[in-house]
Structure 1
Amino acid sequence: MQINVSYPTLPKVPSSHASLVMDHFGLTFDTAEHVVARDLHLPIEPGQIVAFTGPSGSGKSSLLRTAAAELDGVINAATIELPDTLVCDALGLPFEKAVELLSLVGLSEPRLMLRTPAELSDGQRFRFRIAAAFAQKPQWIVIDEFTATLDRTLAKVIAFNVRRLSEKQGIGFLVATTHEDIAEDLTPDLHVRCDLDGEPVISTNLETNSELIAATASRHSRPSIHEGDRTRAPRGAGCSKRISFADRCVITTGSRLDWPYFTRWHYRSHNLGSVRFVTVLWHDDRPIGICVFASPPLSLAQRNRFFRRKSRWSRLGLRVLNRQLVHLSRVVLHPTYRGAGLAAAFVRQSCEAVPFPWVETLAAMGNINPLFERAGFTRVGSSTTTNSDRRRHSAIYGSPTKRHGPASKQKRLLSQESHIKSRFAAPVYYVFDNRSEFERRRSAGRTAE
């Protein structure tokens, strides 16, 4: 692609002041032209990400528009109209696909999905338009002022996910921005750096990656693993690319006192029960995630299926259960960091850190979001009920026994709050086999003694 961009600097309306400006700065009718690019060759290929960066007024937006005009199947995200429907309905996709796409642009919060796009903030509308553009499956998406209205951490998360979505869907991007801090996560295939003076400078993906590798090598090394407090940086969960700030994220042990900070982002019961272990994920000095491990419920129907046990437990059996198994009851990640590729690694490393050989969990969104599969859990199966009666709903978690009278039956029921919030859910039961890590840690402890 060969493009030329220039603008006449002659005044549209002649005036005495305009004549004085031209006289003072030596502008004539022959030289009154501003050239942004002359015969600039852009080797753009389908499915690539092309980023135009530079200060305001450097011509990046002009180059963006000129390049977009030469391509077919282009959607300009800025021109997408905001429909008068709820965000969860506005993409015109099946529910699971819509939630997945909204999650990748940071709009998976229930309070946001239940609003209309017009009710969102400017930054949220920007993200919605990215999702709406993707939903139309064009060949190219054009975005000017890319991530300009977002806080810089969220901007990196969005850039990271645009790269992932582009590779997954084969959709190309043309973006223009003044912010170079997103380049490492966006990893453009073609990077056009504009300046107020001189021709734009073009670098390819290989050249960009070389610069990023050099920059990364000059940073501090990743935090080491300390067995005492189990502090560690999340490793990638099977991803070839990590978000740029992953090295500045660490996991520490916590307590139930850390939980109240995260309850605002958890929509079911805030009661924790008997807490056995807690981990907290930090980005620099900011807590951004929590995993809470509690005593296992007395009986879960899918657990009995996996471990091939009957629903009744003896006193000895209950002691063994509490020594061998812990229940991951809460996983919460700050909304800004969802889609950053941290959640699965955080969950997996938290499970590896618990002093139990087995970890189990129930996930209400397990049929939509395969988070626990990515974290290394085994999916056992889902439990459903077509009856919203509280007692029948409680049967999902193990049928109450009749041997000890009505009082014990009442204790075995779900709380009224949990019943109301989850009576139509179909939770998926997962199991994490932590035996090898558990034995390794126990052996290391014996050696240290």
Structure 2
Amino acid sequence: MAGLSEAYLYLTPYKYLSTGQKFRFELAFAMTREHEKILIDEYSAFLDRDTAKIVSYMFQKFISKSKKRVVIITANDDIEDYILPDTVIRFDDFNRIEIYKKKKDTNSNLFERDFEILKGNYDDLQLLERYHYFGDVKEGTLIRRKAKFYSLYYKKKLMGIAITTSPYTDTVTETDLININDSLRIIYRIILHPKIRGIGGTKLLYNHFLKKEKKLLFIRSAMAVEHPFVSSLGMIENQHVDYENTSGYQNLLKLIDHNSDQKSVFETATNLLGHIMWEEYKGYLNIIGDKSNLTETFFIDVVKNTFNRNKDLQLVLEILKPIVMKEYYYDNRL
């Protein structure tokens, strides 16, 4: 709500925040208090005008869902259409008073006129990747999965990117995997610069997908566990397989805790990774509506042929670190 979503700000003591950041922190903090009536003087006085409009837009969305009554005092009338007040009391230079009700249009988004979506590239991703909780994706990986880049510009500045990929690389030869690639696109990344979060950028990118990607759309997101941004787009939640509590993963943890030999750990880890890939494959087919023909053994063999016990054990263990996720899909096929 206050535009303080950059990770490093979570670790920054209040005294080291800028004046504008302190205002936004105090605004958010005030909303957590039990007071139903709040008075804010010199609202947005310490914010640049773009930030003031964005914060105002997010602030009014929060207030409209709460039971709080807020009075703000400001000399900046450029935020009126973004804060969407119920009543405006205006004083002119001669102390004359004008009072009027503000007609609200909660369905309109004034920021949309300043957004533009263009064909992006890997360089755009590198500029924005620091704002995503997963990083360091290799360009070759994206090329092999036929990635498409959609770059989001706000007032002619790069402020976001979205990437879709095929589930599998373009080198697969198995009919089932080829059919999955032909039918489904993974929403691999959606990254917005913290300055424009909350003003409709994700929805614009998603609507752009609907125009450009006439396939099933699929997303797996850790952020969706805490924030309903995916479900708000109209995507359907899918059952995500949680392997952290399975016997396979628990056996792996026991082997690691008991300092078991490398061969045993690698064998258990690669078997588990192959099993997870098999479950993922069956999940894709279930969404598409096809039957599975590949066995769990096939995926385990793929893993064992891909990773080397002496060189890649730590990499496999890193891949297997459990992250709580939610999955969603939307059938956008013609």
Alpha-carbon spacing, 1:356–1:241, altered in 2? closer, same or farther (3 Å): closer
Secondary structure of the corresponding residue to residue 78 of structure 2: coil
**Partners in 2 of 1:362 and 1:277 — Cα distance?**
17
CA contact (8 A) 2:111 2:199 kept: no
> RMSD of the TM alignment (CA)?
3.0
1:363 aligned residue (221, 224, 233): 221
Alpha-carbon spacing, 1:179–1:156, altered in 2? closer, same or farther (3 Å): same
Query: Per-residue CA shift, 1:162-210, capped at 9, x if unaligned?
Result: 211111002111111111111001111121212332322222224xx6x
Alpha-carbon spacing, 1:418–1:376, altered in 2? closer, same or farther (3 Å): farther
User: Corresponding residue for 1:381?
Assistant: 239
**Partners in 2 of 1:414 and 1:331 — Cα distance?**
30
Q: Under a length normalisation based on structure 2, what TM-score does the superposition of the two structures give?
A: 0.75
Alpha-carbon spacing, 1:113–1:172, altered in 2? closer, same or farther (3 Å): same
| One-letter amino acid of the structure 2 residue matched with residue 315 of structure 1 | E
**Partners in 1 of 2:274 and 2:41 — Cα distance?**
52
Q: How far apart are 1:269 and its partner, in Å?
A: 2.4
Secondary structure of the corresponding residue to residue 162 of structure 1: helix
Alpha-carbon spacing, 1:294–1:338, altered in 2? closer, same or farther (3 Å): same
**Partners in 1 of 2:52 and 2:130 — Cα distance?**
22
Q: How does 1:327-366 map to 2 (within 5 A)?
A: 327-343=186-202, 345-366=203-224
| One-letter amino acid of the structure 2 residue matched with residue 368 of structure 1 | E
User: Corresponding residue for 2:329?
Assistant: 431
Q: How far apart are 1:355 and its partner, in Å?
A: 3.6
State whether structure 2 residue 43 is matched by structure 1 residue 133.
no
CA contact (8 A) 2:116 2:152 kept: yes
Q: How does 1:204-223 map to 2 (within 5 A)?
A: 204-206=101-103
| One-letter amino acid of the structure 2 residue matched with residue 282 of structure 1 | Y
| One-letter amino acid of the structure 1 residue matched with residue 301 of structure 2 | R
User: Corresponding residue for 1:281?
Assistant: 152
Alpha-carbon spacing, 1:364–1:138, altered in 2? closer, same or farther (3 Å): same
**Partners in 1 of 2:158 and 2:302 — Cα distance?**
44
Query: Per-residue CA shift, 1:391-429, capped at 9, x if unaligned?
Result: 557855547733357323569x99949938x93421112
State which structure, 1 or 2, has the greater radius of gyration over its C-alpha atoms: 1
CA contact (8 A) 2:274 2:303 kept: no
1:189 aligned residue (82, 86, 93): 86
**Partners in 2 of 1:318 and 1:109 — Cα distance?**
38
Is there any run of 5+ residues in structure 1 with no aligned partner, and where?
1-103, 214-239, 299-312, 440-449
1:270 aligned residue (128, 132, 136): 136
**Partners in 2 of 1:242 and 1:202 — Cα distance?**
24
**Partners in 2 of 1:141 and 1:414 — Cα distance?**
57
State whether structure 2 residue 60 is matched by structure 1 residue 163.
yes
Query: Per-residue CA shift, 1:74-119, capped at 9, x if unaligned?
Result: xxxxxxxxxxxxxxxxxxxxxxxxxxxxxx2112222112333333
**Partners in 2 of 1:117 and 1:139 — Cα distance?**
25
| One-letter amino acid of the structure 2 residue matched with residue 338 of structure 1 | R
Alpha-carbon spacing, 1:368–1:290, altered in 2? closer, same or farther (3 Å): same
User: Corresponding residue for 2:41?
Assistant: 144
Query: Per-residue CA shift, 1:230-271, capped at 9, x if unaligned?
Result: xxxxxxxxxx43332222212222233321221221231221
Secondary structure of the corresponding residue to residue 77 of structure 2: coil
**Partners in 2 of 1:288 and 1:409 — Cα distance?**
37
**Partners in 2 of 1:423 and 1:142 — Cα distance?**
47
Secondary structure of the corresponding residue to residue 366 of structure 1: helix
2:181 aligned residue (303, 318, 322): 322
Query: Per-residue CA shift, 1:288-317, capped at 9, x if unaligned?
Result: 21111122147xxxxxxxxxxxxxx97111
| One-letter amino acid of the structure 1 residue matched with residue 235 of structure 2 | F
User: Corresponding residue for 1:257?
Assistant: 123
User: Corresponding residue for 2:318?
Assistant: 419
Alpha-carbon spacing, 1:116–1:152, altered in 2? closer, same or farther (3 Å): same
Query: Per-residue CA shift, 1:10-60, capped at 9, x if unaligned?
Result: xxxxxxxxxxxxxxxxxxxxxxxxxxxxxxxxxxxxxxxxxxxxxxxxxxx
| One-letter amino acid of the structure 2 residue matched with residue 250 of structure 1 | E
**Partners in 2 of 1:255 and 1:263 — Cα distance?**
12
